[in-house]
Amino acid sequence: RVTVVLFTADLRLRDNPVLAAALRAAEHVVPLFVIDSGIAGAGFVTPARAAFLADCLADLDEGLRARGGRLIVRAGDVVRETCRVAAETNATEVHLASGASGYAQRREERLRSALTVDGRSLCVHDAVTTAVAPGVLVPSSGNSGKDHYAVFTPYHRRWSAERLRPVSPAPRRVELPPVRSLPLPGPGDLARGPAPAGLPKGGESEGRRRLAAWLRSGLAGYAAAHDDLAADATSRLSSYLHFGCLSPVEVISRARRCATEDEPHAGAEAFVRQLAWRDFHHQVLAAVPGAAHRDYRTRHDRWRTDPDELAAWRAGMTGYPVVDAAMRQLAHEGWMHNRARMLVASFLTKTLYHDWREGAGHFEGLLVDADVADNRLNWQWVAGTGNDTRPHRVLNPLVQARRFDPRGDYVRRWVPELAALPDAAVHTPWRLDGPARAALRYPAPVVDLTEGLARFRRARGLD
C-alpha cells in the first residue's frame, strides 16, 4: 500500500500529523512538494520567500534522506501533479493539512473531486498549521450569528481552555516506491531578484534551533520587553511558523511547560497569547475568505490616493523617523517588529488615509512570514475595517516612538542619516534649528499630524 503526503504549509518531520497518519496507513509514503503555479501566479513567491522556501525544502529532503526516503518535487498545477504522482505510484490516499485561505480551501475541494474520479481518497488533517483548527471554537449564542468568533477576547478565553493534541516525534523511517522527481529548487528557480541582505536561514532544523534558544533565554523576558523596538525581544519565529517548519502545537506546549517547570511566568502567558491571535485570524479567514480582499466588517471606501505619499511610505522616507526605520527594516530583513507593523499600518491607513490593501500588498512583497490570514486581517484590524473593537484609535507615531524607542536606538539603527542626533532630537528632526536641519539629508514630514488626524475624523464622520 502506498500513500502520498502533499506538503504545503507544514514543511517539517516532527509533530506533523499529516505525515504520521500517512505512515500509519501504508508501508510506503511519497513525500511530495509541488512548486505550485497557482501560488506563483498570484505573486506570492517573492525573492525573500523563495530563498526561505528553498532552505525549507533542502532541510526537509535532508531529514527524509536520513530516514531512508527523500522529497519528491514536481512543478505545475498542484492538483494535476498530485493526481499524477498518486497514479504513477498507485497510491490509495493523499494526505494533506487543512488551510484557512480561500486558495487552500479551493485546492482541497479540487483535489478531493479529482482524486475521487480516480477512485482515490483525500485525507485532510486539522491542527497542523494552527494549534486549534478553524471551526472548532464557535460562539454559543453569538451576536454575529456566524460560525466564527469576530472578537478576540472571548475567543482567547475559549482557546486557552482547549486541550491541545499531544506532540508527536519525527518518524524513524520513511520508505517510498520508485518515483520521478525534479531536482530540489534553488531560490533562483523559484523567483527572480535578490533576496534581502538580512534574510534568516529557513528550515525545520534552523527553526528548532531558534525555538530552543528562545525558550531558554528569550521567553522569560517577553512580557516586559516585547514592545521595545530596539531591544528586539520577540521570538522571530513567525516565518518558521508560516512555512510550518515549526508546529504551533509544539511551540505552545513547550512554552507552557517552561512556565510551570520554573515557576509561572508572564512571558510564557504573553507569548502564547500572541499565538492565539494567529489562530484567531485563521478562523476568521476560514469562515470569511473574502476578508482577504474586502473590508471584513465596516465599509470605508473613501480612501485617498496620492502616489508620492505612498512611495514615501514604501521607501521609508516619510520624514517620521520611527515609521521610516520600520519600513527600512522590512526591506532589509524581510521582517518587521509587531509594534512597528502596527504603527506604520496606522500611519498609512489613518494618518495618510490610504487603502489598507496598498499596505498589505507592499508587506506581502517583502515579508518572509507574509500570510493571508495574519497579514490581511491585522491590516484590517489596524485600519479599523476589521475586528478591532476600537476602530477609531489612531497611533500617533511621535507618541509611539517616545514610548517604544525612548532613546532612539531603533531609529539610529535603521536611519543612518539620523545616527548622530541626540536622544532629544532623534524623533523630531524637523524641529532642529536651520543649519543643523539643513545638514541632514532627510525629508521633511510628509504630513502634519494634526492635519492627518482631522482628515481621518472627517472621513470617518467623527466630527
Residue 103 near ligand FAD by CB under 6 A: no
Q: In this complex, which beta carbon is closest to ligand FAD, that of residue 309 or of residue 333?
A: 333
Q: In this complex, which beta carbon is closest to ligand FAD, that of residue 21 or of residue 395?
A: 395
Q: In the sheet that 28-36 helps form, which strands lie side by side, from edge to edge? A: 72-76, 28-36, 2-6, 93-97, 121-125
What Å distances lie between residue 93 and 5, 51, 103, 220, CA to CA? 9, 31, 21, 44
Residue 338 near ligand FAD by CB under 6 A: yes
Q: In this complex, which beta carbon is closest to ligand FAD, that of residue 249 or of residue 367?
A: 367
Residue 369 near ligand FAD by CB under 6 A: yes
Interface region with ligand FAD, contact rule CB under 6 A, candidates 159-167, 204-212, 370-378, 414-422: 370-378
Sole binder of ligand FAD in the list 7, 52, 347, 379 (CB under 6 A): 379
Q: How far is the CB of 340 from ligand FAD (least distance, A)?
A: 8
Q: How far is the CB of 232 from ligand FAD (least distance, A)?
A: 9
C-alpha cell at 15: 509533530
Residue 374 near ligand FAD by CB under 6 A: yes
Please list every residue from 401 through 430 that binds ligand FAD, using CB under 6 A.
none
Residue 53 near ligand FAD by CB under 6 A: no
Q: How far is the CB of 235 from ligand FAD (least distance, A)?
A: 3
Residue 226 near ligand FAD by CB under 6 A: yes
Q: How far is the CB of 133 from ligand FAD (least distance, A)?
A: 16
Sole binder of ligand FAD in the list 50, 51, 122, 241 (CB under 6 A): 241
Residue 256 near ligand FAD by CB under 6 A: no
Q: In this complex, which beta carbon is closest to ligand FAD, that of residue 235 or of residue 400?
A: 235
First to last CA, the chain: 69
Q: In this complex, which beta carbon is closest to ligand FAD, that of residue 54 or of residue 345?
A: 345
Sole binder of ligand FAD in the list 3, 98, 101, 234 (CB under 6 A): 234
Q: In this complex, which beta carbon is closest to ligand FAD, that of residue 98 or of residue 129?
A: 129
Please list every residue from 266 through 305 that binds ligand FAD, using CB under 6 A.
271, 274-275, 277-278, 281
Q: How far is the CB of 323 from ligand FAD (least distance, A)?
A: 13
Q: Choose among 125, 417, 175, 135: nearest CA to 285.
A: 135
Map grid coordinates 522556501 to a residue: 53
Residue 400 near ligand FAD by CB under 6 A: no
Q: In this complex, which beta carbon is closest to ligand FAD, that of residue 36 or of residue 364?
A: 364
124: left (phi over 0), alpha (psi -120 to 50) or beta: beta
Q: In this complex, which beta carbon is closest to ligand FAD, that of residue 18 or of residue 345?
A: 345
Q: How far is the CB of 258 from ligand FAD (least distance, A)?
A: 14
Q: How far is the CB of 178 from ligand FAD (least distance, A)?
A: 38
Interface region with ligand FAD, contact rule CB under 6 A, candidates 170-178, 186-194, 307-315, 335-343: 335-343
Dihedral pair phi/psi, residue 456, rounded to 5°: -60, -45
Q: What is the rounded CA–CA span in Å between residue 124 and residue 112?
A: 10
Map grid coordinates 532552505 to a residue: 55
Q: In this complex, which beta carbon is closest to ligand FAD, that of residue 278 or of residue 314?
A: 278
Please list every residue from 341 through 360 that binds ligand FAD, using CB under 6 A.
341-342, 345
Residue 378 near ligand FAD by CB under 6 A: yes
Sole binder of ligand FAD in the list 323, 382, 394, 421 (CB under 6 A): 382
Residue 238 near ligand FAD by CB under 6 A: yes
C-alpha cell at 212: 530552543
Sole binder of ligand FAD in the list 324, 358, 371, 388 (CB under 6 A): 371
Cβ atoms of 291 and 285 within 8 Å: the answer is: yes
C-alpha cell at 372: 493571508
Q: In this complex, which beta carbon is closest to ligand FAD, that of residue 17 or of residue 207?
A: 207
Which residues make up the interface to ligand FAD (CB under 6 A)? 226, 234-238, 241-242, 271, 274-275, 277-278, 281, 338, 341-342, 345, 363, 367, 369-371, 374-375, 378-379, 382
